Structure 1
Amino acid sequence: MSRRSLAVALSCAAFLLLALGVSGASASTTWLCKPGLASNPCAPGLGTTVIDPTGAPQGTLTPAKPKHPKVDCFYVYPTVSDQKTLQATRKVDPEERSIALYQAARYESACRIYAPMYRQITLAGLLKPAGVTAKMRATGYQDVRAAWREYLKKYNKGRGVVLIGHSQGSFVLRQLIADEIDGNAKVRRQLVSAILLGGNVLVEKGSDKGGDFDNVKACRAPTQLRCVVAFSTFNATPPEKAVFGRSDTSPAVVQGKPTKSTEVLCTNPAALGGGSAPLTSLFPSAPFAPGTTIGALTTQVGLPQPQVSTPWVEAQAYTGRCSSDGGANVLEITGQTGAPVLHPLPDATWGLHLVDANIALGDLITLVQSQVKQYTAH
């Protein structure tokens, strides 16, 4: 698949979520990650090699893992399926296992992780949008909603929950929060926070709420609860037709069409109150599933691939700030001396979409740990 073809395909991704349905039933959930699950991709070791901006190792560390986590994390993965049909089955393939490792597993230092499989629109489906039916578009959301309800009924037992999503996963969770959480005070009290990356969360201009949600506000302090963190990463001013950061040109709408009164939310997890701050990046040392489309793209982004013995690599090679340059609200990153230059993929309109979940993963985990402490104290 060429970069141009993939760009055209992905540009249709958000449109495919506009017709999310709320009817229909789903079979019993297939769990990608769940406590006690055999061969759980969300339960690796936490050993970490710290590198400097050039990639040189500086030492190792192993974060503490809570024996009895006080809250859970509910993760919905982005578009990764390489199945040849337009819509994926709920079969667990290598690409889902890899994306769970890359994006969700490190949260194990703060929570128990639940991640359902869902019948998402595949990369093949995004290349042929004319063949994707409204029923197909609704099925993925129905799977996640059914999994959420099953989780609440069978596993939650009144615990707090952090929602985590990226790209198609964020679009689905935007709908889930709007339908199942935002207007339900009882369930909303259990929401610790929502991390919705690369998904164009909408708020009213000049406000931390409105747009997608009436009650779930933007996170602006480490101890704030029932709030959302959202950003898309760029290392240059987003172009006029940027897929992310623009409520007027982006197709990523859930609750309705964007209006002149809405804008895309950006919250910098390293500086929730605003301004610029160093970002702590975390990524697995293992390569993303070889032979897959996303696996091939991850090798082209430009992140360092140091040969280390630990499962994880940590670096502070970039600083980030929420920027509205060019009329797009995005997390704009700048490399420190010696840091690798990261490449927008599949083209400049997508920015650094492929690194959204890892570029500030250390900061996101620190934030979640702070929120968990606040939640359990009250």
Structure 2
Amino acid sequence: MSRRFPLLAVLTAAAATAAVAAPGAASASTTWLCKPGLASNPCTPGLATTTISPTGQTLGRVTPKATRNPKIDCFYVYPTVSNQSGPQATKRIDPEERSIALYQAARYSSACRVYAPMYRQVTIAGLLKPSSVTNRMRTTGYADVRAAWLDYLNHDNKGRGVVFIGHSQGSFVLRQLIAQEVDRKAAVRKRLVSAILLGGNVLVKKGSDHGGDFQNIKACHSATQLRCVIAFSTFGDTPPARAVFGRPDANVTVVGGRPVKNTEVLCTNPAALGGGSAPLTSIFPSAPFAPGTAIGIETTQVGLPQPAVGTPWIEAQAYTGECSSAGGADVLKITGETGAPVLKALPDATWGLHLVDANIALGDLVTDVQSQAKQFTAH
């Protein structure tokens, strides 16, 4: 995993060529990684948390209060994590999917019921060898997620509000799903609480907060705003010219088969949705990520502190974040507090801090969802 993955080309192609699944997709075809009542659910851990200083020193222990009987749901689509040997994953639940659900989705269980479908994604092996990935493989992954979404709507939603959560390949899939199945459908759009689409180059018209991927769904500007999008990619330095994230591909991309010109990548700071700089609340599990897997190995090299603690979670305020357009790329630029570790861009500088997108401001994202949930319930 030392060389630059062709992720953007592969996933942009996936968004452009994905075929729409049949509306009557059977619910029996959905394999749920996370779902209320599911045995051995990685999305419902305890919430006990050890707080640490920027230098990694233990400060104390807290247990956040979870919402009893939450009124909203979260629909999560995980990023590229499959360690299976072929270019396309099966729906088998492996340790890496369980780990990524814990790292990226489980904390939201304090505010929502979490649903996460398995899908036949392009694997890490497929990203390393793009010639092995066919258009059929790309369309299959999207079709799996769409079928799961329709399954959820038909059997579990019952008019509840929904937060979409995605990262990387998951965000690329959700960009298409939301554009086709939510943004265009007023009745479904009313159920949207928000969408958190990280590391996925969400597009808006230049100088606007919508109009690229979505015509009706705007960027979030406050934690009480509904039917809006939070999106960013994290960098510790100014993105280089060939950065994978922060810039539209040659300022022209394809969304739903239509060329969209004059767009830019959306950046919203989850700790300051109205704009500006703010301290970020980072939260990550104390358990290591699926030891022995490719992503597990990379995760240990990023540089986040891993003190031995007796709680499932670690929380720190070690970085400040602000949306930046330096170098022509729209990204969440982070700066470390005194003594905070300098995080390493992996697999190289063009990817920035992609591996920490979901956790660098997880505390702020969960707080945003809690506020939006209250607003949705009140209305």
- The answer to whether the superposition gives a TM-score over 0.5 is yes
Q: Using the alignment, how far apart are the partners of 1:81 and 1:351 within structure 2?
A: 21
1:277 maps to what in 2?
Answer: 278
1:157 maps to what in 2?
Answer: 158
2:219 maps to what in 1?
Answer: 218
2:2 maps to what in 1?
Answer: 3
2:57 maps to what in 1?
Answer: 56
Q: Is the 8 A contact 1:235 1:332 kept in 2?
A: yes
Q: Is the 8 A contact 2:254 2:260 kept in 1?
A: no
Q: Using the alignment, how far apart are the partners of 2:348 and 2:288 within structure 1?
A: 22
1:100 maps to what in 2?
Answer: 101
Q: Is the 8 A contact 2:253 2:261 kept in 1?
A: no
Q: Using the alignment, how far apart are the partners of 2:340 and 2:9 within structure 1?
A: 33
1:117 maps to what in 2?
Answer: 118
Q: CA deviation at 1:125?
A: 1.1
Which residues of structure 2 form unaligned runs of 5+?
Answer: none
Letter aligned with residue 201 of structure 2: N
SS in structure 2 of the partner of residue 3 of structure 1: coil
Task: Evaluate the alpha carbon distance shift between residue 273 and residue 62 of structure 1 in structure 2; reply closer, same or farther with a 3 A threshold.
Answer: same
Q: CA deviation at 1:126?
A: 1.3
1:364 maps to what in 2?
Answer: 365
Letter aligned with residue 42 of structure 2: P
CA RMSD after TM alignment: 1.5
Task: Evaluate the alpha carbon distance shift between residue 238 and residue 257 of structure 1 in structure 2; reply closer, same or farther with a 3 A threshold.
Answer: farther
Task: Evaluate the alpha carbon distance shift between residue 249 and residue 261 of structure 1 in structure 2; reply closer, same or farther with a 3 A threshold.
Answer: closer
Q: Is the 8 A contact 2:54 2:316 kept in 1?
A: yes
Q: Using the alignment, how far apart are the partners of 1:254 and 1:171 within structure 2?
A: 10
Letter aligned with residue 21 of structure 1: A
Letter aligned with residue 3 of structure 1: S
Q: Is the 8 A contact 1:85 1:122 kept in 2?
A: yes
Task: Evaluate the alpha carbon distance shift between residue 266 and residue 253 of structure 1 in structure 2; reply closer, same or farther with a 3 A threshold.
Answer: farther
Q: Is the 8 A contact 1:83 1:124 kept in 2?
A: yes
2:19 maps to what in 1?
Answer: 21
Please say which of residues 11-20 and 355-364 is displaced more in the overlay: 11-20
Q: Is the 8 A contact 1:50 1:314 kept in 2?
A: yes
Q: Using the alignment, how far apart are the partners of 1:11 and 1:165 within structure 2?
A: 16
Q: Is the 8 A contact 1:53 1:315 kept in 2?
A: yes
Mapping for residues 1-378 of structure 1, pairs under 5 Å? 2-4=1-3, 7-17=4-14, 18-24=16-22, 28-249=29-250, 253-255=254-256, 260-378=261-379
Q: Is the 8 A contact 2:179 2:214 kept in 1?
A: yes
Q: Using the alignment, how far apart are the partners of 1:233 and 1:199 within structure 2?
A: 11
Encode CA deviations 1:238-297: one digit per residue, 9 max, x unaligned: 000111000144897534577551100000000111110000000000000000000000
Encode CA deviations 1:176-229: one digit per residue, 9 max, x unaligned: 001100011110000000000000000001111100000000000110000000
Q: Using the alignment, how far apart are the partners of 1:251 and 1:132 within structure 2?
A: 23
Count of aligned residue pairs for this structure pair: 375
Task: Evaluate the alpha carbon distance shift between residue 70 and residue 37 of structure 1 in structure 2; reply closer, same or farther with a 3 A threshold.
Answer: same
Aligned-pair identity in percent equals 73
For normalisation by structure 1, the TM-score amounts to 0.96
Q: CA deviation at 1:19?
A: 1.3
Q: Using the alignment, how far apart are the partners of 1:356 and 1:34 within structure 2?
A: 23
Letter aligned with residue 8 of structure 1: F
Q: CA deviation at 1:127?
A: 1.8
Task: Evaluate the alpha carbon distance shift between residue 310 and residue 250 of structure 1 in structure 2; reply closer, same or farther with a 3 A threshold.
Answer: farther
Q: CA deviation at 1:16?
A: 4.1
Task: Evaluate the alpha carbon distance shift between residue 205 and residue 252 of structure 1 in structure 2; reply closer, same or farther with a 3 A threshold.
Answer: closer
Q: Using the alignment, how far apart are the partners of 1:371 and 1:288 within structure 2?
A: 30
Q: Is the 8 A contact 1:170 1:196 kept in 2?
A: yes
Q: Using the alignment, how far apart are the partners of 1:20 and 1:314 within structure 2?
A: 38
Letter aligned with residue 2 of structure 2: R
Q: CA deviation at 1:36?
A: 0.5
Q: Is the 8 A contact 2:17 2:139 kept in 1?
A: yes
